[in-house]
Amino acid sequence: MSDYTPPVTEIAFVLEEHARMSELVQLGFDEATPDLVQAILEGAAALTSEAMGPLNWPGDRQGSRVENRQVVQADGFREAYWQYVDGGWNGVPFPADYGGQGLPVTLATAVQEMVQSANLALSLCPLLTQGSIDAILAHANDELKQRYLPKLVSGEWTGTMNLTEPQAGSDLSVVSARAERDGDAYRVFGTKIYITWGDHAMTDNVIHLVLARLPDAPPGVKGISLFLVPKYLVNDDGSIGARNDLYPVSVEHKLGINASPTCVMSFGENGGARGWLVGRENNGLACMFTMMNHARLSVGLQGVAVSERSLQHAAHYARERVQGSAGGSPARVTIVNHPDVRRMLLTMKALTEAGRALTYLAMASHDRAHNATDEGGNAFHEARLALLTPIVKGWCTENSMEITSIGVQVHGGMGFVEETGAAQYMRDARILPIYEGTNGIQAIDLIGRKFLRDGGEAMTELVEEMRGVADALSASADAALGRALGAAIDTLGTAGAWVRANADAEGRTANASAYHFMMLAGVVAGGWQMGVGALAAQRKLAAGEGNAAFLKAKLVTARFYGEQILPRAAMHAAVAMTPAATVMEMEEGMFG
């Protein structure tokens, strides 16, 4: 079983060439100097490879459990988490006013990726905390911010998101948890399910953000409010007070991420869990979307992270496993010398690198949207971020299932045996297309809200930017990649025009096309970013800069993407431009 080696050189390249970190510094992130960026990458690499990575396999074996109405997490997780907290890692992107470091979200993404690759189950705890911080920063009153944010920003307390109920999965209009006014606070009652890190013994407090209805609330999503409900009440001096009326009932037995306690939470068994309103009454869904949009990008990053770990595991095995001969020689060779194994590894590598570049680009748009000095720049990057979010979440997580499955295949029969560790990445990846909005929901969001609603304006701007890269490649030593990218961009444009021309009032055609349109957009956008990387590698090699072997590998991987990944665009476009009639033709009972 291989160790996790953080890809520091690759991440630094993506930050520099794809996210354009030097431009972010000019938006007010003065402290994000190249020296500091490198120090953060190296420090995060040491933390994740030494403290978190070794716990990934045993944590999966052990899992978590409920004892005495409290979750017991896997051995070693508390100690590793506190190394993360003590190092100040949780506060990297948050305001200094609450104890954060005020650095770009894009730089924090690099830290987050390494944590996720090292130990996906453990990484979910700070991920939910960071989303909670975003929601509280954006919507809570000053009193709640002052009381809860410093401990959440430091990571001394953790946060959760409580949306789902047994009868209300993605359809939050039927949420039935209720809240009653109680002076300047509220009492919350109800059961929530699938609550990631809903309870644990790693920190002194867990801060829950809970969707619930007031007695006089209107029906549907317009009647949902958001409440901050702490596991332990917090005294006026900031100290921990009495236990609140909320408890974990059980943890789910899952296919993967077994060390992450996915809890059934009960609120208000004995008089009501005391909570405080975040935002306005009946405006909870808007508040929660702040947290959900952060989480959707982070889940896309999880797809990249688990793919990187699976790739490393498979490449390590392929370099050591001796089987068969190659090239006409009778000598036995390691399987990395077989062309089909090379094809599998390059597929894993190309999709992982494309996903990483696209995800970091989206995070950089987040930084630019919130820190641009001109209103036009802010609006442009808000639209770009909105467009990229469902693509990053959907395409990168779909790819993670393919990549981790290939990782098992590289191992052959040994990959099907749990003890090699390859299967864990595949099991862990399977949740990623499901939570924080299934990929079907992401696809519908992309085609409906992010494409059709604005007449395709944001997509048109993106396509024009892509064409500039394709043209530059076509005039370079990688002209074939430029031609392939240009053809794929044309295909995306053709499919987009078809979707606009055939959209019906009920949305049936668009919804039937949505998944393949999302995958088409991902394949093309990924190719665009591979082109950006190839141009940068060409430039650096010509100037004699950087690691030549790394840069040459960049070029080979980009060429492979053009030859064997970009052709997928034609398939996705062909399906996306198929009328919806057949999809809806079969009667319910005919499915078996």
pLDDT beyond 90 at 294: no
pLDDT digits (tens, 9 = 90+) for 154-177: 999 999 999 999 987 778 788 999
pLDDT digits (tens, 9 = 90+) for 179-227: 999 999 999 999 999 999 999 999 999 999 999 999 999 999 899 999 9
Q: Mean pLDDT, to the nearest integer, of 277-291?
A: 91
pLDDT beyond 80 at 356: yes
Quote the crossing angle between the two packed helices 479-502 and 508-543, to the nearest 10°.
160
The whole-chain average pLDDT of the chain stands at 96
pLDDT digits (tens, 9 = 90+) for 25-53: 999 999 999 999 999 999 999 999 999 99
Let me know how long the chain is: 592
pLDDT digits (tens, 9 = 90+) for 575-588: 999 988 888 888 89
Residues contacting residue 134 through CB under 8 Å, at least 6 positions apart: 290, 291, 294
- Helical ranges in 231-338 per DSSP H: 284-320
- Burial group, residue 61, by CB count within 10 angstroms (0-12, 13-18, 19+): exposed
User: Topology of domain 158-282, per CATH?
Assistant: Butyryl-CoA Dehydrogenase, subunit A; domain 2 (2.40.110)
143, 180, 436, 465: the active-site residue: 436
- Helical ranges in 321-374 per DSSP H: 339-371
Task: Report percent pLDDT > 90 for the chain.
Answer: 90
Contact 241, 235 (CB under 8 A): yes
pTM, 2 dp: 0.97
Q: Mean pLDDT, to the nearest integer, of 365-392?
A: 92
Cα dihedral: 571, 577, 582, 583 (round 10) = 80
**Which amino acid makes up residue 347?**
T
* Alpha-carbon span 450 to 389, nearest angstrom: 10
- In degrees rounded to 5, what are phi and psi of residue 259? -85, -5
Q: Mean pLDDT, to the nearest integer, of 12-27?
A: 96
Domain 8-63+76-154 CATH superfamily: Acyl-CoA dehydrogenase/oxidase, N-terminal domain (1.10.540.10)
How far is the CA of 272 from the CAs of 143, 175, 177, 187, 235, in angstroms?
A: 22, 17, 11, 5, 18
Is 506 tagged catalytic?
no
* Alpha-carbon span 265 to 247, nearest angstrom: 6
pLDDT digits (tens, 9 = 90+) for 492-516: 999 999 999 999 888 889 999 999 9
